[in-house]
């Protein structure tokens, strides 16, 4: 089975490829010669995931899934949320985003947060949505070089290390994206074993 994953993000593509069974051949936006940035104009993670998947299905006629992920910080009323990738501006720089968040939480005792991923799948003319979350907290400074995005400042519940310090193998069993993709994979196994 061939599926397009609507992303240009090589880190995300690699992470998801490791989670999918071998019989699913994953194509990126680059593989289908879609080099444009699909606008994420939704007000929620679910809306953005749907916009990206629908764009690929309608434009290229291909089965596709996409995701949108947000970091939701309790004391900031769920921000940066849908704006996580561009929290510090349109340049989408992870270091700038982390610096802004750490500054905003500088004197804040409540550092609880969660990552949430919503996956939208268009397959055989039908749409399906899958969600995954992981609870944790924002550390006071960056730790580790692994992962991407906010990983060096997010410490998942039950661990004493950030996603930036944990191995890909561990992260891929507990992360928000891993949980959402696991639901996607379970669904795909039922419809196309």
Greater confidence (25 vs 71) lies with 71
Q: Please, what are the domains in the chain?
A: 2-191 (3.90.950.10)
Q: What is the pTM of this model?
A: 0.91
Active site residue 54: no
pLDDT digits (tens, 9 = 90+) for 165-181: 999 889 989 999 999 99
Q: Which of 68, 96, 151, 160 is catalytic?
A: 68
pLDDT digits (tens, 9 = 90+) for 73-126: 999 999 999 999 999 998 889 999 999 999 999 999 999 999 999 999 999 999
Torsion of CA 116, 163, 189, 119, to 10 degrees: 30
- Average pLDDT of the chain is 93
Separation CA 100–CA 46 (nearest Å): 25
Given this model, what pLDDT does residue 193 score? 58
- Looking at the predicted structure, is the pLDDT value of residue 187 above 70? yes
Tokens at 95, concatenated: 């270091």
137 — phi, psi (to 5°)?
-150, 160
């Amino acid at each position: 089975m061939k599926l397009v994953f609507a992303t240009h993000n090589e880190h995300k593509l690699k992470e998801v490829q490791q989670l999918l069974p071998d019989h699913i051949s994953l194509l990126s936006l680059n593989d289908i010669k879609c080099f444009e940035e699909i606008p994420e104009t939704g007000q929620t993670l679910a809306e953005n995931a749907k916009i990206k998947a629908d764009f690929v299905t309608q434009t290229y006629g291909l089965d596709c899934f996409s995701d949108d992920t947000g970091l939701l910080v309790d004391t900031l009323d769920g921000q940066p949320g849908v704006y996580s990738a561009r929290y510090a501006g349109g340049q989408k720089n992870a270091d700038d985003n982390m610096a802004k968040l750490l500054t905003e939480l500088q004197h804040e005792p409540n550092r609880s947060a969660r990552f949430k991923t919503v996956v939208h799948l268009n397959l055989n003319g039908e749409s399906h949505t899958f969600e995954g979350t992981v609870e944790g907290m924002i550390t006071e400074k960056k730790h580790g070089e692994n992962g991407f995005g906010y990983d060096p400042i997010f410490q998942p519940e039950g661990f004493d290390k950030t996603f930036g310090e944990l191995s890909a193998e561990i992260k891929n069993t507990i992360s928000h994206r891993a949980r959402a993709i696991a639901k996607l994979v379970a669904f795909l196994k039922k419809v196309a074993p």
